Amino acid sequence: MDAGDLAVFAAVARAGGINRAAQALNTVQSNVTQRVRLLERELGVPLFHRHSRGVTLTSAGTQLLPYAQRIGQLLAEARRAATNGAEPSGRLAIGSLETTAARRLPPLLTRYATAYPRVDIVLQTGTSAELVEDVLERRLEGAFVAGPVGNPELIEETILEEELVVVTAPRVRTLDGCLAPRPGMAEIKILVLRAGCSYRQRFEQILAMRGVAGVRRLEFGTVDGIIGCAAAGIGITLLPRAVIEPALHDGRVAAHALPPAEARVATVFIRRRDAFVSTALARFLDGAREGAAGADGAAAESLSRRA
């Protein structure tokens, strides 16, 4: 099988049509059609069902697609390894939790972009579960997620440790008060990101350990939305203290400390164990370690005072 034919096949599968794939590949439709037919002839099986709306994968095509994608990713990685130099350059695709991207990464990215202007940084946010999958599938070179992950295919390095707090409207005075439904309420409303968010999972565990059974989940797409609704008294949430510091300083929310065993959360950087580490990624990690040292020390001191 030719790697070029596999790349065309994967492009058609992504686009859902020959013409759309040709546009994405910047080539003519007849070329795409010919490459797909050559691959089908070599394998002796049809890879697509053709219909008026485009194409869909056959069972054989569905089985082939992950291998075609993996080969494309490995070729791209091989190209990066061959062209890697002492001076960081090229594309660097990094993932991050939204909370980390909002609070921790801007200074790091600013310093990095200034020091290494030839690197094109792509930052993708998501839940821990989504980012782990993207790193495993080589769509990202690495990602900041909540640890520990414990996957043998990944290397994980603790970058910093933070304190999680329960966030409520300012009028809520105590932790017990925010974990009890108000008169007339049958359940507690918790403000969370979509499924796969590590803070959401941690909060649900904390509530369950305290015997809170009635929970209604209100899902949001952004941390800012969650903080705003917590400030308005719509519900409560669990977030790193550093993320809500501006709102806390302005008096818009209240933060309720948890016991240290529940409050500590590690932010780890994960990457594939078998993946090539480019100079761009190595320098990025150096910057992340240096920038986190001060923040990690401050967080540890804050937690020790509460212990």
pLDDT band at 136 (very low <50, low <70, confident <90, very high): very high
In terms of pLDDT, which residue wins out, 57 or 303?
Answer: 57
| Residue pLDDT, tens place only, 228-280 | 999 999 999 999 999 999 999 999 999 999 998 899 999 999 999 988 899 99
Q: Is residue 300 over pLDDT 50?
A: no
270 in Cβ contact with 135 (< 8 Å): yes
- Domains of the chain (ranges; CATH) run 3-83 (1.10.10.10), 90-159+266-306 (3.40.190.10), 162-264 (3.40.190.10)
Tell me how far apart the alpha carbons of residues 61 and 40 are, in angstroms, rounded to a whole number.
Answer: 9
Q: Is residue 181 over pLDDT 70?
A: no
Give the mean pLDDT of 159-177: 89
**Half-sphere exposure for 229 (CA within 13 Å, toward CB):** 20
Give the mean pLDDT of 176-196: 76
Distances 223 to 106, 125, 219, 254, 287 between C-alpha atoms, Å: 16, 12, 10, 16, 25
The pLDDT, as a whole number, for residue 299 is 45
In terms of pLDDT, which residue wins out, 195 or 278?
Answer: 278
DSSP per-residue letters across 87-130: S--EEEEEEE-HHHHHHTHHHHHHHHHHH-TTEEEEEEE--HHH
Phi, psi (deg, nearest 5) at residue 256: -115, 120
| Residue pLDDT, tens place only, 1-10 | 788 889 999 9
The pLDDT, as a whole number, for residue 180 is 66
This prediction's pTM: 0.73
